[in-house]
Structures are given as C-alpha cells and as structure tokens.
Amino acid sequence: MTCRCPASVRTAVLLACTILALAPTAEAQRGPASQLTIVDAVPDVLGQTLTINGVNFGSASLAVTVDGFGPLTVLSQTRTQVVVILPALPAGSYLVSVSRGPSQQDSDTFVATLGALGPKGDKGDKGDPGEKGEPGEKGEKGDRGDKGDRGDAGPQGLKGDKGPAGDPGPMGPAGPNTTDDNTMYIGADRNNDESGSTLQFGVDGASTATLNEAGDLSVHGVVKPAGVQLDGLEFGMFPVHATMGNTNTLCGLTSDGNAMSGVAMQWDGLECGGFFANGDTATIISPGDADLLRVYDEDDINMAGNNANPRFAVDGSGNIRVGGGTGSRGCVMDGDGTVIAGTCFSDARFKQDVTPLGSVLDKLTRLEPKRYRYRSTAFPDKHFGNSEQVGLIAQEVEAVLPELVVKDPDGFRAVRYNNLPMLMLQAIRELKEENDMLKRAVAALEEQMNR
C-alpha cells in the first residue's frame, strides 16, 4: 500500500514529519497463511530499539532495514515480533522493511513515525522505606568446631627510636708503642692478645676523636673546613646535628642545636652544598645558581667537564626537566609504572592485551567538574595548598568510572587524571560517528523528497 503526500508535506518531513503509521488492510490480514505481514512498528528512542509486530515472521533469520539503513542488528525474534537496535535518526517518518526470503510473500514494508526526544523529566521523590520484617527463629546451636592450627608468628615490630649519644668517656692512659720495620703501632702490644686498643685525641681531658682497633673513626663535633681538604674542596661532616644561620662556620652551618644531621661541602670558600636530614625531612642544599639539582647517568658524565644533558634537573625557578635532551625520551610515571606525562614509549612491540575502549561518551558526560578548596588545616600531613582548585570528586567518579579511582591505606580516594585525555579522545570519535550518521540520514531524506 502506498502513501502519497502533497509537495508541501514532503518538504516539512525534513524538519518534523508526523505521518501516522499505516496499518495493513483487512485484505492483507486475510491473505495466505504464509504471507509475512507487519502490523505495526513501535520505536523506543530512549532505549534505542524498534519493536516490529506482525504475523508469519517464521523462525528463519530476518533482514530488517530502515530507509535503506541496515540490515539492523536483531535482538530477539518470534513468529509475531522482532526487536532490533534502532540507529540514531532525526524525527520523521521512515520506511521499515522486513524480509525472510526472495519472494513477495516473504517480505513486507511499513511507514513508522519517529518523534523528537522530549526533555529529561525531574527526578522522582524518594520512596518511603518498607516495613521491617519479622526476625527469623533462632537456629540451633552448632557443634563445637575442632581446634584450629596455631597461627603464624606476627610480623616484627617497628624499630625503636635511636637513643641519645652518651657523654664521651675520660681519656685513658697511653698504651705501649712498638715498631716493626716501617710500621709504628700505637695502643696495645701487637704481640699479645689484649683487645680494646684505641687512639684518642682530646683537649683538657675531653675526647674529640677516636680510632679503634677495627679502624672505625669517630669524630665528636664538626670536622672544620681547614681540617679536611681534597684538591681545594673543603669538606665538613655533621655527625650529630646541624643548624643554619651561623656564617662563621662551614656553609653557614654549625653542629649546635637540634635541627638536622648531614654532610656539607664548600668550594674555595664560596659555593656550598650538602645533604641533611632529621626524622621527617631530607634536605639538599645546592651550590648551583642555574640548576639546583642535576642527575646524570654514569656513562654521560666525565671529569673533563664535557657532560651531556642531565636525565633529571631542577632549576632555580622550580622548573623540573626530565629526559636527556632534544629527541630523547622524558617520561613521568607513578609508582606502579602508569604514565602521568611526558614523552613515553608507545611502540606496539612493547604492548600486549590490546583492546578497544568501547563506548565512554555517556559515562564522561555524567562526570561534573567542580571548583573547591582543600581542607589544608584539617589535613596538614597531606600538604594541600590554599588556592581554589578545579577538578572532580573521587566518589562521584568511582560511581561512573571506578577504574579511574584508587585508595590509599587509610581509605582516602585519588583520581587518575592522567587517563582522562584518552577517554575524551574516544568520546570525540563517538561524537563524530553519530554526526556522520545524522548527515547520511539527512542526505537520504533530501534525496527521497526530491524524487
């Protein structure tokens, strides 16, 4: 059965066609028992399905098309109904075709109307909670179980804090001195079995340095710059504590106070550098003005000063550089090797278990970026800043894309922001695919109306 519309109606179909579905005639319904007949076609735009009702669909595979698009994917099929996936189409009327074979009685067509999708309705009110059920009967007491095996020993406890250093003992009496060829022995006689020999230096009865029989050297206080020099490099050690601010000592550091312990070096009395630490912080003092910290590979550096670019560097402005220079790789990763940023290996020969991402557009549109400030005062150990931030809430992300959220041992959540660009790239591909499909649908309608 054919439907002919006036020219004005055919033109309006491009915007919004509201032609009612044409039901089959009574003669068609009373046709041969094997005649395939479509009764109606019901689209579900929100669920993206098209339900076609009729008779004599049979059990063989059906070919379903909409305005030449297809064959469409069949979700379910009976003798009187077939459900297919509905492609994304604009509002209008479309010719639905169902076929089970080459003969005329094995196929039928139907004109179905696809309306525009209305706005999303408001969220309904939360329903009342159901009544509390009656408690079940108490079960019988079970038999006493067998005694379990003895558990493994628990882990070793944490190492206790180091106790304070004791006061140096009084200087002992001088031991006998012996000579043998070109060697001089200070302490116990080398020919007897006495132990505990030491060589001590001191002032006014107080020990300042000790060398024991095992070769261990203990220095009580600061090794002054004038005390150790290596080719112009003045070397100072702070084996107990070091504080900053006294310009009369090496690099403005002194062993008085209780700040940090470490090692300091000074070049020609001008530039200083060192490493210091206490119970919470490790500090590096750089002698450089341009680059405060450089890390080299041992094969890229030589004593003549002709060094390659550092693998890692921090300059005086706080900028961080990674990689070995122009054309080299500089990749930043987290603790488990997941890429965060930079120029990273992506060669197919390095990869396995490669699979497509699948559809992510709907999930990404459910993520809502927000402005916020961190509760830096409540969580000082997290070192949060006080400025306004823009980002996502981890609990909201977890509900949509749980693979983007990780938890620390205390249960606090973090978001893998580094994975978002790849997901957004996939979403752009999905948008383009939908846009191309809409262009084809509009072109097909224009061609049909111009016939």
Would you kindly state where each structural domain of the chain is located, as residue ranges?
7-114, 293-348, 355-451
pLDDT over 50 (residue 70): yes
Other C-beta atoms lying within 10 Å of the C-beta of residue 264: 24
pLDDT of residue 321: 77
Range from 125-129, 140-144, 287-291 carrying the lowest mean pLDDT = 287-291
Percent helix, strand, coil in the chain, to 5, is 15, 30, 55
DSSP character at residue 106: G
366-390: average pLDDT: 93
Q: How far apart are CA 11 and CA 170, in angstroms?
A: 111
Higher pLDDT, 39 or 289: 39
How much is the mean pLDDT over the chain?
74
Residue 440 has pLDDT above 90, yes or no: yes
Contact call for residues 64 and 54 (beta carbons, < 8 A): no
Cβ contacts of 247-252, under 8 Å, gap ≥ 24 = 249/222, 250/222, 250/224, 250/225, 251/285
Name the residue among 127, 96, 135 with its Cα closest to residue 112. Answer: 96
* Residue at 450: amino acid letter: N
The sheet that has 198-203: what strands, in order across it? 198-203, 206-212, 217-219
pLDDT band at 392 (very low <50, low <70, confident <90, very high): very high
Q: What secondary structure does DSSP assign to 361-409, as a single string?
A: HHHHHT---EEE---TTT-GGGT--SS-EEE--HHHHHHH-GGGEEE-T
Write the CB contacts of 408 (distance below 8 Å, at least 6 apart in sequence): 414
- Cβ atoms 236, 253 nearer than 8 A: yes
C-alpha gyration radius of the chain: 41
Query: Token pair for residue 18?
Result: 């509201």
- The length of the chain is 451
Pair 307, 287: CB distance under 8 Å: no
CA 61 from chain center: how many Å? 46
298 compared with 19, residue with greater pLDDT: 298
Cβ neighbours around 411 below 10 Å, total: 6
Residues 390, 393, 398, 403: is their CA dihedral positive or negative?
Answer: positive
62 has pLDDT over 80:
yes
Residue with more model confidence, 19 or 179 = 179
What is Dmax (Cα atoms) for the chain?
Answer: 132
pTM: 0.42
CA separation for the pair 341, 344 (Å, rounded): 8
Give the pLDDT score at 376: 93
Architecture per CATH, 355-451? Orthogonal Bundle (1.10)
Q: Is there a contact between 236 and 225 (Cβ–Cβ < 8 Å)?
A: yes
> Cα–Cα distance between 250 and 270 in angstroms, integer?
10
Who contacts 370 (Cβ-Cβ below 8 Å, separation ≥6)? 390, 391, 392, 393
Task: Return the structure tokens found at 112.
Answer: 């179905």
* Interval 413-424 mean pLDDT: 94
Backbone torsions φ then ψ of 274, nearest 5 degrees: 180, 175
Q: Which residues are 416's β-sheet partners?
A: none
Beta-sheet strands, E only, within 213-352: 217-219, 229-230, 233-244, 253-254, 260-267, 271-277, 282-285, 291-295, 312-315, 320-322, 330-333, 339-343
**Can you tell me the distance from the alpha carbon of 293 to that of 287, in angstroms, rounded to the nearest whole number?**
9
- Structure confidence at residue 346 (pLDDT): 87
- Residue 200 and residue 208: Cα distance in Å, rounded? 8
SS3 124: coil
> Comparing C-alpha atoms, which of 49, 111, 33, 117 is closest to residue 81?
49
- Give residue for tokens 């938890």: 407
Q: Does domain 7-114 have CATH number 2.60.40.10?
A: yes
Evaluate if residue 410 carries a pLDDT over 80. Answer: yes
Angle at 312 between CA 306 and CA 317, to 5 degrees: 100
CA-wise closest residue to 24 among 56, 64, 65: 56
- The β-bridge partners of 331 are 342
**Looking at per-residue confidence, does 400 or 319 come out higher?**
400
Confidence of residue 361 (pLDDT cuts 50, 70, 90): very high
3-state secondary structure of 429: helix
Spatial contact of 291 and 313, defined as CB atoms under 8 Å apart = yes
